[in-house]
Amino acid sequence: MRFGRQMLDHWWLDRDATYLNHGTVGVTPRRVLDAQQAMREQIERHPARFLLRELMSLAPQAPAEPTRVRAAASRVAAFVGAAGDDLVFVDNASAGVNSVLRSLRLQAGDEIVLFDHAYGAVSRTAAFVAREHGARVVTLTLPFPLADASLPQRLLEPVLNARTRLVILDHVTSETALVLPLAQLAALCRAHGVPVLADGAHAPGAIPLDIPSLGVDWYVANMHKWAFAPRGCGLLWAAPGRRDGLHPPVISWGLDVGWHQEFDWTGTRDPTPFLCAPDGIDFITGFLGESTMHDYKHALARRAAQRLASLWGQPWETPDAMTGCMVTLPLPARLAHGDAAAAVRLKDWLLDERRIEVPVISRGDRLFVRVSAQVYNDDDDIERLAQAIDDAR
Ligand SMILES: Cc1ncc(COP(=O)(O)O)c(C=O)c1O
């Protein structure tokens, strides 16, 4: 299998563009969209039967034959090392995070701990839940760029205390694209008796994943980013003992019946993103080759980091174990400083003038770019970005 530009045949992406932002909202392969369309046609032949009889069951006991949503959950679970019964679908990672945070029974003075690399929508949800209960969010500052893999652990340990009700940990941070040592951090939290919500929005399909081995209490992820599901497919995995009192963001007919019943039906909606998640998995395992795909993306991301860092006069010191298939780099000195508006201006210029889609991020007063490496990208894309940054004023 030859990866790189010729792989674009498998996507609808604009061929004139350089798309270095797979991570943001995913890009669905054509064959998955075809499967989704076929599934929609199947639904429309008899929507009531499909949605109300075949899709899910609200009965307290599981039916003899797994429902369609449970069958899809089993396929997705196997892909992330889990059992189907331990996983439910949610529309996206935001919905999964909202489920867990809004199900917490917090009291005044309780603390939720997270790093300042947490996704903005997640930290806002934590802030919302905390303020409803008189609790507070403790935000730990993790320097970036980060060369020391043990620093997250050293920062986290001193703040864990009897008031800590939850630690929220990214598996892969969004803006800074760091693969955090989640299992070690979760072990530390466990040793202090503090539950962990892991945000793996960028993990399935981006890095090899075995959720139960991580030792977290809840794991939220997106299948629509790197695992090629149609957009609108998230998952929520919960450890045994962490499902009681866990509710979806939308309460519906399954309330108090069981956690599958509560999450498998949250009102009438399009179930095809969940049901076609296995088609995205098949694209990886049956067509691209799972380990070949991981190796290509990881190597391209690392080459991109080394090449751009050396061009831009910076060392690339992020440990390899903390690098997945995205890398975030400080811009060269000439463009290094700016606020959020400057980041938007440069991002727009890259898109409007050079047809390059890549996020430009402002953290503090520093500007960074985050490069996604997907199988349809290659070194030429990185050179086009390097040239464009060279030309940007
Ligand atoms: C780390 C992280 N968490 C959560 C989300 C939210 O994902 P979604 O918009 O699919 O809910 C994102 C989205 O990029 C993310 O990067």
Indicate the domain borders of the chain: 5-28+289-391, 38-281
The mean per-residue pLDDT over the stretch 281-299 comes to: 98
Site to substitute for ligand 1 among 174, 175, 235, most atoms within 8 A of C-beta: 174
Whether pLDDT at 221 is above 90: yes
pLDDT at 249 over 90: yes
Write the CB contacts of 25 (distance below 8 Å, at least 6 apart in sequence). 224, 225, 231
pLDDT of residue 316: 95
Q: Which amino acid is at 170?
A: D
d(CA 273, CA 225): 12
Cβ–ligand 1 contact at 70 (below 6 Å): no
Fold of 38-281: Aspartate Aminotransferase; domain 2 (3.40.640)
Report the pLDDT value the prediction gives residue 141, as an integer from 0 to 100.
98
Q: Are 263 and 303 in contact (CB under 8 A)?
A: no
Give 373's pLDDT tier (boundaries 50, 70, 90): very high
CA separation, residue 39 to residues 17, 26, 44, 53, 69 (Å):
30, 20, 9, 16, 13
What does the mean pLDDT of the chain come to?
98
Which of 99, 202, 207, 370 most suits a substitution to test ligand 1, by most atoms within 8 Å of the C-beta? 202
Whether 312 shows a pLDDT value over 90: the answer reads yes
Confidence of residue 393 (pLDDT cuts 50, 70, 90): confident
Side-chain-facing half-sphere of 202: CA atoms under 13 Å = 26
Q: Is the pLDDT of residue 332 over 90?
A: yes
- Please give the average per-residue pLDDT across 361-368, as a whole number: 96
- Per the CB < 8 A criterion, the answer to whether 321 and 179 are in contact is yes
pLDDT-derived band of residue 355, with 50, 70 and 90 as boundaries?
very high
Q: What is the pLDDT of residue 1?
A: 81
Q: What is the pLDDT of residues 168-194, one digit of tens each?
A: 999 999 999 999 999 999 999 999 999
Q: Tell me: the pLDDT tens digits for 341-352? A: 999 999 999 999
* pLDDT, tens digit, 9 for 90 and up, residues 38-64: 999 999 999 999 999 999 999 999 999
Predicted confidence band at 105 (pLDDT cuts at 50, 70, 90)?
Answer: very high
Q: What residue type is 385 in one-letter code? A: L
Q: Is 126 in the pocket of ligand 1 (CB under 6 A)?
A: no
CATH architecture of 5-28+289-391: Alpha-Beta Complex (3.90)
Which one-letter DSSP state was computed for residue 118? S
Q: Which of 114, 120, 97, 169 is nearest to 363 (CA)?
A: 120
For ligand 1, the distance from its centroid to the CA atom of residue 93, given in whole angstroms, is: 5
